[in-house]
Amino acid sequence: MKKMNFGIAIFFIALSCYVLISAQSFPGKIGNVPGPGYFPTILSCVLIALSLILILTSREASDAPLGIFSKGNRIVFVAAGVTLAYFGGLLIFGFLIATPLYLVAILRYFKMTEWRSLILTSGITTAASYAIFTTILEVQLPSGMF
């Protein structure tokens, strides 16, 4: 586990350094507004800090073999698969159809059993997200093929 954590931390430090160097070619500030280089720079600094914390905390970890395909990790793989299917569904069905279907599937998988709550949560979350992104942020969401 120590070696795995160390390797992951070094990878993300290297990736962050690359992003920091690349972000320097973007304008840092446009008038009084942060430019396109601001957000990648902040994220890279945070990622470097978190990677250093991982290195420091990994010193106490055991060297036990990592069971990536263990039964306990099944939930992660299923959630990742459903999320990948959602990305494909966005292209085909669009945001307004794919998002509530995704939310129902993922919430049901994580043991939300009451259907009324499931439908309300999915519907309200989709409507709120749609309103925020289209009205306030003026972002065009995927409309799908239909």
pLDDT recorded at residue 89: 94
| pLDDT, tens digit (0-9, with 9 covering 90-100), for 96-127 | 999 999 999 999 999 888 999 999 999 999 99
Q: Is the pLDDT of residue 146 over 70?
A: no
Structural domain spans, the chain: 2-58, 71-136
Q: Is the pLDDT of residue 145 over 70?
A: yes
Which residue in the block uniquely carries the two structure tokens 């999320």?
83
Contacts of 40 (CB under 8 A, 6+ apart): 19, 20, 22, 23, 26
Could you tell me which residue, 130 or 144, shows the higher pLDDT? 130
pTM: 0.63
> What are 51's two structure tokens?
């990677």
Under DSSP, is residue 77 helix (H, G, I), strand (E, B) or coil?
Answer: helix
| pLDDT, tens digit (0-9, with 9 covering 90-100), for 40-49 | 899 999 999 9
